[in-house]
Chains A and B, each alone.
Chain A
Amino acid sequence: MTIEATDARRMGPLIPALAVPAAAWKERAASDAAIGGHAMRVESLSAWYGNHLAVHDITLDIKPRAVTAIIGPSGCGKSTLVRCLNRMHEVTPGAPRVSGRVLLDRHDIYAPGVDPVQVRRHVGMVFQKPNPFPSMSIYDNVVAGLKLTKAPSKAVLDETVERCLRQAALWDEVKDKLKQSGVSLSGGQQQRLCIARALAMAPRVLLMDEPCSALDPIATYKIEALITELKREYTIAIVTHNMQQASRVSDFTAFLLAADDRIGRLVEYGETAELFTAPKDERTEAYITGRFG
């Protein structure tokens, strides 16, 4: 990573304005290529619950060090899609099944012989409802993934806890009570704890499934600010049903829609600024102007 590139971005506003000139993104894309980072590519992905086809033939890119928002009305398959990206779909109840490819840095996570457990170590996930482990302290929550998958030294654990809690903008609030239970925190703090817990695994991609839908506006604001910070180092995909949120935090947006057949399909995908100001599909326009969904 070049320090100049990171610093240049740090100077941007915490929450970017809705309309960012397309030229700025071209510039960014060029610098992304220079920085590297981890990209994901979804190819012809379909997912079923038993005989019910929930999402059909999705192809989209999740660009490195950017936030990709997945929006759409409730039940259109956003959660299903995002859970296919770290192979969590297959542990969902309801006879789950997947076809298609998901490439992480050109490696298909559905290739034969791939261990889903390893995939999940590289693709972290934050859920809709904050879910810290109630039997663990704040400290242990952050390093739960490390402790349960390898046996790191105390020094490594201490360092990870502080670094990840700082990254999750939670350190100052909890540094004096690391031994307390994780469920003693407020909802917004719990969600940031869950983000810290995901970051501790040093994921290549961070998936977030409606991370703010259970939070109040101030906690939501903090998480959005955090996402904007994190995308300097992480590739992020965020599911949201809140279009303002998508327009505030994301660089790219995918709009999913399930027609009367209840099969979720990708309607439009593009740069957030363009998709929200000049949608190409009339269904996208109808959705973002609030005419349905």
Chain B
Amino acid sequence: MSSDTYAPPLAPAYPPGGRSIFEADARYQVRRGVARLMAVLVGLAALGAVAVLWIILGYVIWRGLPAINWPFFTQRPLPYGEPGGGVGPAIAGSLVLLGVASTIGVPIGLGAGIYLSEFGRGRFADAVRFCGDLVAGLPSIVVGVFIWALLVRHVIGHFSGLAGAAALAIIMVPIIVRTVEAMLRLVPHTLREAALALGVPQWRVVLSVVLPSARAGIITGVVLALARAGGETAPLLLTTLGNMFFNWNLSQPTAALPIQIYNYAVAPYDDWHTKAWGASLVLIAVIGILSVLTRLATRGKKLA
């Protein structure tokens, strides 16, 4: 070593006559054992959660795949005995119902979520929040019965796609309200301040600064709501009833995948049971594709 470099003398690894301050104490093995046990337990829980998902998915694919062919997507269901028959009207109906339900539910849910996060103070906001949680906890069959009593029996007078979409919208709204409020609250207050200090009016701050910053979270909320609504059966049985034919008139009964699955499944024919599994597979795929599409539409946007 040259004389002009300086290296500090190392302290002895063990102080003379003593033990290292880092030396393991008596409880070290116990602590390590507990840590390992915890890691294994939570790992098992995670495995269990994922396994259930894959088992269900695998089983649906195994049972449903034999039913899948091109006519299955395009044909209407046929009476028993006639070969073929598919879920065409049900796919179309589900997409239309979800579209109409979103058109009603997303603006209301988004608006209420924005109100609660940005403007809501005091009793009225608490009441809105409380009612939102109540509706979120409402069994979907109750929503169906309500719409049946209100729209099917009185306002419209018969089963219709519109009544079904209304029921689905009621199911979607509280999910969207909750996620939107939570996501907007995550946007730092400093961003709102930055915009306000530029002389931007508050409504513009919310629209142009807060909402874009929470965009990803808001989309997640909408996707969750779509997935939940897309799989609802009970309220649709009481509102849209289902339809064997293609129908684009919302004032008439409309087919939907969950209803079609139900109708195929309760029939006493093996062939129809396979079709029920096939339709389940289609429903899972439709919801999966909707989620991916909404996420693709929001990709490439940097978000805080």
Using CB atoms and an 8 Å cutoff, list the residues of chain A in contact with chain B. 86, 88, 91, 93, 117-122, 124-125, 127, 129, 131-136, 144-145, 148-149, 181, 183, 194, 197-198, 201
Q: Flag if B303 contacts A120 (CB, 8 Å).
A: no
Contacts of A118 in B (CB 8 A): 199
Q: CA A90 – CA B303 in complex, angstroms?
A: 28
Asked if B204 is at the interface (CB within 8 A of a chain A CB), the reply is yes
Using CB atoms and an 8 Å cutoff, list the residues of chain B in contact with chain A. 188-201, 204-205, 208-209, 212-213, 215, 301-304
Closest 3 CB pairs of A and B: A121-B199, A145-B198, A134-B304
Q: Flag if A120 contacts B304 (CB, 8 Å).
A: no
Report whether over half of chain B's contact residues are helix, strand or loop; otherwise say mixed. Answer: helix
A-B contact list, 16 entries, CB within 8 Å:
A119-B199, A120-B199, A124-B197, A131-B191, A131-B193, A133-B194, A134-B191, A134-B303, A144-B195, A144-B198, A145-B199, A148-B200, A148-B205, A181-B302, A194-B194, A198-B197
Q: Please give me the residue from chain A that is nearest to B212 by CB atom.
A: A135
Query: A121-B199, A135-B209 are known contacts; what are 5 more A-B pairs with Cβ within 8 Å?
Result: A131-B191, A133-B191, A134-B303, A144-B200, A148-B205
Q: Flag if B196 contacts A133 (CB, 8 Å).
A: no
Contact flag A88-B302 (CB < 8 Å), given A133-B191, A135-B213: no
Pick the contact of B198: A132, A135, A183, A198 (CB < 8 A): A198
Shortest distance in angstroms between A138's beta carbon and chain B's nearest beta carbon?
12
Q: Please give me the residue from chain A that is nearest to B214 by CB atom.
A: A135
Contacts of A136 in B (CB 8 A): 212
Q: Flag if A117 contacts B191 (CB, 8 Å).
A: no
Contact flag A135-B303 (CB < 8 Å), given A127-B193, A129-B190: yes
Q: Flag if A88 contacts B198 (CB, 8 Å).
A: no
Shortest distance in angstroms between A97's beta carbon and chain B's nearest beta carbon?
16
Q: Flag if B209 contacts A145 (CB, 8 Å).
A: no
Pick the contact of B213: A86, A120, A122, A134 (CB < 8 A): A134
Contacts of B205 in A (CB 8 A): 148
Contacts of B204 in A (CB 8 A): 148-149
Q: Flag if B215 contacts A88 (CB, 8 Å).
A: no
Contacts of B189 in A (CB 8 A): 93
Contacts of B188 in A (CB 8 A): 131
Pick the contact of B302: A117, A122, A135 (CB < 8 A): A135
Contacts of B209 in A (CB 8 A): 133, 135, 144, 148
Contact flag A124-B213 (CB < 8 Å), given A135-B303, A135-B304: no
Q: CA A184 – CA B196 in complex, angstroms?
A: 23
Q: CA A136 – CA B304 in complex, angstroms?
A: 10
Shortest distance in angstroms between A145's beta carbon and chain B's nearest beta carbon?
3
Contact flag A91-B193 (CB < 8 Å), given A117-B199, A118-B199: yes
Contacts of B301 in A (CB 8 A): 135
Q: CA A127 – CA B196 in complex, angstroms?
A: 12
Contacts of B195 in A (CB 8 A): 133, 144, 148
Q: Flag if A124 contacts B194 (CB, 8 Å).
A: no
Q: Flag if B199 contacts A88 (CB, 8 Å).
A: no
Shortest distance in angstroms between A3's beta carbon and chain B's nearest beta carbon?
30
Shortest distance in angstroms between A147's beta carbon and chain B's nearest beta carbon?
8
Contact flag A88-B304 (CB < 8 Å), given A133-B213, A135-B213, A148-B208: no
Shortest distance in angstroms between A98's beta carbon and chain B's nearest beta carbon?
16
Contacts of B199 in A (CB 8 A): 117-122, 145, 149, 201
Contacts of B197 in A (CB 8 A): 86, 88, 120, 124-125, 127, 198
Q: Flag if B304 contacts A183 (CB, 8 Å).
A: yes
Contacts of B212 in A (CB 8 A): 135-136
Q: CA A144 – CA B200 in complex, angstroms?
A: 9
Q: Please give me the residue from chain A that is nearest to B204 by CB atom.
A: A148
Q: Flag if A145 contacts B193 (CB, 8 Å).
A: no
Q: Please give me the residue from chain A that is nearest to B190 by CB atom.
A: A131
Pick the contact of A117: B192, B194, B201, B213 (CB < 8 A): B201
Q: Please give me the residue from chain A that is nearest to B302 by CB atom.
A: A181
Q: CA A70 – CA B201 in complex, angstroms?
A: 28
Shortest distance in angstroms between B244's beta carbon and chain A's nearest beta carbon?
48
Shortest distance in angstroms between B173's beta carbon and chain A's nearest beta carbon?
26
Contacts of B303 in A (CB 8 A): 134-135
Q: CA A122 – CA B301 in complex, angstroms?
A: 32
